Amino acid sequence: MQLDLTQASGFAGEIAASSTLSELNEVKVKYLGKKGLISLLNKQLPSLAPEERPAAGEKIQGLRNGFEALFQERLEKIGREAREKAILSEYIDISMPGFPFVNGSLHPVNRVYDEIVDIFTIAGYEVKSGPEVEDDYHNFEALNIPKTHPARDMQDTFYIHGDIVLRTHTSPVQIRTMESQKPPIKIISPGKVYRCDYDVTHSPMFHQVEGIVVDKGVTFGDMKGALRLFISRMFGDDLDVRLRPSFFPFTEPSAEVDMGCVQCRGKGCRMCKGTGWLEIGGCGMVDPEVFRFVGTDPDVYSGFAFGMGIERIALLKYGIDDIRLFYENSLKFLKQF
Ligand code: PHE
């Protein structure tokens, strides 16, 4: 009886032919596994003549060592190749130009909003805010606009329920401030306001900035000075300011604020319809009735108030002719700022 080694000659070829770990493992099982060739050969040992067994055993061990060495060598090579492939596939050419980041920018209304706040804070005004969902009392009543007053028609109000409304102006913030704070008061109240109105110059939601100054001896002249200061900082100091008599229930006397046209600088053009003036807001001396609502003595204190639309200021500043562009979020439009 002799060991049958014919099958052993296939190992080297099969190992060399396996190119993946699983192929390599199959070969390993076939030759070195529990039912593999080496096991089979070991099982033949008892059937050999006793004097042949040591040499045969040595031969089998030699084969096993040879198999294992070849297997190990191939295993390492496959591992190395896989790593190299991974490195090549993940290769990043750091000398290539990158993808540029697209930076967002502030919305034009926010820019103008911030600019307005800056101008007034530098001039010593405090910034106050209040609820956008207001009660009738603060939005109308305390501003001397009783339920039956025709002036309620000036502001197309969104009613939520009962006496609760979306504020139609930021004047309620002035009432709330005067309720909780004694004069001197010098504040602006910028924020969102709501009116049921929609066309090229009106949006159901827009931003207002209102201001109020209350102290002893505050005059109409102080008001014009404050407005002039704001307009010159915002649009340039060559623009004049003009006050036209008007009516608001909460101010007496009241005026519309006009400023020199931003386009023709007062000479007269299409934008200002040849007048040289553009309307920019309303203003007036705080009505004594309003003072009585908040418990301020109108015989001791006086004050002025003003209100402007922030979108209107942005339209004029950037020469835009449709307020709706501000809310469409078209990148073509927004990228210009
Ligand atoms: N509250 C007024 C409005 O929204 C604006 C205004 C404020 C007018 C203060 C005069 C004084 O129309």
Q: What is the mean pLDDT of the chain?
A: 93
Under the banding of pLDDT at 50, 70 and 90, the label for residue 198 is: confident
Residue 28 in domain = yes
Q: What was the pLDDT predicted at 154?
A: 65
26 and 169: one domain? no
Ligand 1: distance of its center to the CA of 172 in Å?
10
| Residue 257 pLDDT > 70 | yes
Q: Which atom of ligand 1 is nearest to the CA of 143?
A: 1
- Average pLDDT on 92-99 reads 88
130 and 190: one domain? yes
Q: What was the pLDDT predicted at 101?
A: 86
Q: What was the pLDDT predicted at 155?
A: 67
Q: What was the pLDDT predicted at 150?
A: 77
**CATH number of the domain bearing residue 120:** 3.30.930.10
Tell me which of 4 and 55 has the higher pLDDT. 55
Q: Which atom of ligand 1 is nearest to the CA of 169?
A: 4
84 and 200: one domain? no
Q: Which residue has the tokens 């608001």?
A: 248
Ligand 1: distance of its center to the CA of 310 in Å?
13
Q: What was the pLDDT predicted at 4?
A: 81
Two tokens, residue 17: 């032919």
pLDDT over 70 percentage in the chain: 99
Residue nearest to atom 3 of ligand 1 (CA): 169
Q: Which atom of ligand 1 is nearest to the CA of 254?
A: 10
In angstroms, what CA-CA distances link 156 with 136, 168, 329? 13, 8, 26
Residue nearest to atom 6 of ligand 1 (CA): 307
Q: What was the pLDDT predicted at 100?
A: 86
262 and 184: one domain? yes
pLDDT over 90 percentage in the chain: 77
Under the banding of pLDDT at 50, 70 and 90, the label for residue 110 is: very high
pLDDT tens, residue by residue, 27-63 = 999 999 999 999 999 998 899 888 998 998 999 999 9
Are the C-beta atoms of 262 and 317 separated by less than 8 Å?
Answer: yes
213 and 308: one domain? yes
Ligand 1 neighbours by CB, cut-off 6 Å: 169, 171, 210, 248, 251, 282-284, 305-307
Q: Which atom of ligand 1 is nearest to the CA of 211?
A: 9
Ligand 1: distance of its center to the CA of 251 in Å?
9
Residue 97 in domain = no
Pocket test for ligand 1, best of 149, 169, 174 (most atoms within 8 A of CB): 169
Q: Which atom of ligand 1 is nearest to the CA of 282?
A: 8
146 and 228: one domain? yes
Ligand 1: distance of its center to the CA of 322 in Å?
22
Give the number of domains in the chain: 2
Residue 270 in domain = yes
48 and 123: one domain? no
Q: What was the pLDDT predicted at 286?
A: 98
194 and 319: one domain? yes
Using CA atoms, how far apart are residues 241 and 251, in angstroms rounded to an integer?
A: 19
Q: What was the pLDDT predicted at 1?
A: 63
pLDDT tens, residue by residue, 286-316 = 999 999 999 999 999 999 999 999 999 999 9
Two tokens, residue 121: 């804070």
| Residue 279 pLDDT > 90 | yes
Helix (H) or strand (E) holding 319: none
26 and 116: one domain? no
Residue 166 in domain = yes
Among 43, 62, 89, where does a domain finish? Answer: 89
Residue 1 in domain = no
Residue 290 in domain = yes
Ligand 1: distance of its center to the CA of 51 in Å?
119
212 and 129: one domain? yes
pLDDT tens, residue by residue, 138-153 = 999 999 999 888 767 6
What is the domain extent for residue 302? 108-334
Residue 100 in domain = no
pLDDT tens, residue by residue, 169-187 = 999 999 999 999 999 999 9
Pocket test for ligand 1, best of 138, 230, 250, 304 (most atoms within 8 A of CB): 250
* Sign of the four-CA dihedral 188, 192, 195, 201: positive
Q: What was the pLDDT predicted at 105?
A: 87
Ligand 1: distance of its center to the CA of 250 in Å?
8
Ligand 1: distance of its center to the CA of 256 in Å?
9
Residue 99 in domain = no
Under the banding of pLDDT at 50, 70 and 90, the label for residue 22 is: very high
Ligand 1: distance of its center to the CA of 2 in Å?
115
233 and 313: one domain? yes
132 and 69: one domain? no
Using CA atoms, how far apart are residues 53 and 30, in angstroms rounded to an integer?
A: 24
Exposure string of 251-287, with b = 16+ CB inside 10 Å and e = fewer, is beebbbbbbbbbeeebeeeeebeeebbbbbbbbbbbb
